[in-house]
Amino acid sequence: MEKMKALVTGSSGFIGGHLVRHLLQRNFDVSCLVRTASRTAALAELPVTLVGGSYFDLDSLRRAVRGMDYVFHAGAVLSAPDWPGYFKTNVEGTANILLACAQANPGLRKFVFVSSISAAGPARDGRPLRESDPGRPVSLYGESKFQAEQAAAGFMGRLPVVIVRPPNVLGAGQKELQAAMNLMRRRIVPIIGRRAKQTSICFVQDLVRALLLVAEADRAIGKTYFVAAEESYSWREILQQLLREMDLKLVLKIPHPLLLGVAWVSEAVSALTGGPPLVTRSDLRSARENYWLCDAGLIGAELGFRTEVRFVRGIGDIVRRYRTGAASDS
């Protein structure tokens, strides 16, 4: 049988990179849209086709999407100094690739847009969000993803679009966990959030399974789905499990006020260098003040999806992969 063809944007990122590998394991013919600034070293040894293009060059986007069975749009700006930095890529870029699909590939089987719980905003009164709840983003990133969802919804009459909203996604190579473990190796532990269960989670292995499931399911057309584990967690529980897996006992804990000072320095360095800050005061306040909780029952009820990676196993896998990478870097 002829292989299904899939284009992945954001393939050099955390979720996109895992998605590419999952599609290859499922015997897809995978193409990766790469921009001039894309880091392609991790893709170099994979049997993928690198397609040069830009979210702001419709000709290149039309060439990239032509002939594809599926387009997975996982590319996004996660951190920017101002609203234009988010809007240009996350909103305009999403609208442009949708337009390119409508113009050059009207027979597309599915356009899967990887959004975020940030587009919906935090849960109110501790009640997990459902897909039917109105979006109330509280950050520039969240607002950009919300507007990108609206752009995607605007094409639902012309394209088979589905939107997936993951919460905090955990897995090997995730930037924030990587930074936390780098500190932990030095026996420094950032105290993030409160003791309450403030976040839904999804391990990246489960997320990429869900992305392929909604791509192949006709019933998913025009829908929005949260994808998350049933249990929610506090950030302190997550960090504590990382400590157990790393077998670290005597550590120095950095409280929230001191972390805000570290974030201020990170933002100042970012302003000077032009690079994204490692952590921002907004990130820390959001983790402490908001409850990022969602009810992922809809994708289970409609498509039979269930997460498979259990919490302890998932954290253990992250630490094992981290140690392997750390060992190879030293």
| pLDDT tens for each residue of 255-277 | 667 767 777 777 787 777 776 66
Which pLDDT score is estimated for 276? 65
Which pLDDT score is estimated for 120? 96
For residue 218, tell me if it sits in a domain: yes
What single DSSP character describes residue 5?
A: E
For residue 257, tell me if it sits in a domain: no
* Domains held by the chain: number: 1
Q: Which CATH number characterizes residue 205's domain?
A: 3.40.50.720
For residue 206, tell me if it sits in a domain: yes
Most confidently predicted of 36-45, 123-132, 138-147: 138-147
For residue 270, tell me if it sits in a domain: no
For residue 177, tell me if it sits in a domain: no
Place of tokens 């260098």: 273
Share of the chain above pLDDT 90, in %: 66
pLDDT surpassing 80 at residue 136: yes
For residue 101, tell me if it sits in a domain: yes
Region label for 67, one of left (φ > 0), alpha (ψ between -120 and 50) or beta (otherwise)? left
Q: Determine phi and psi for 11, rounding to 5 degrees.
A: -70, -20
Cα 61 from Cα 4, distance rounded (Å): 19
Domain hosting residue 205, numbered range? 5-170+200-230+293-309
Which pLDDT score is estimated for 254? 67
Most confidently predicted of 90-99, 287-296, 316-325: 90-99
For residue 61, tell me if it sits in a domain: yes
For residue 281, tell me if it sits in a domain: no
pLDDT surpassing 60 at residue 248: yes
Taking only the tens place, the pLDDT of each residue in 220-233 is 999 999 999 999 99
* Tokens describing residue 184: 């932990």
Cα 233 from Cα 225, distance rounded (Å): 20
Q: Determine phi and psi for 269, rounding to 5 degrees.
A: -65, -40
Taking only the tens place, the pLDDT of each residue in 18-59 is 999 999 999 999 999 998 777 778 888 899 999 999 999 999
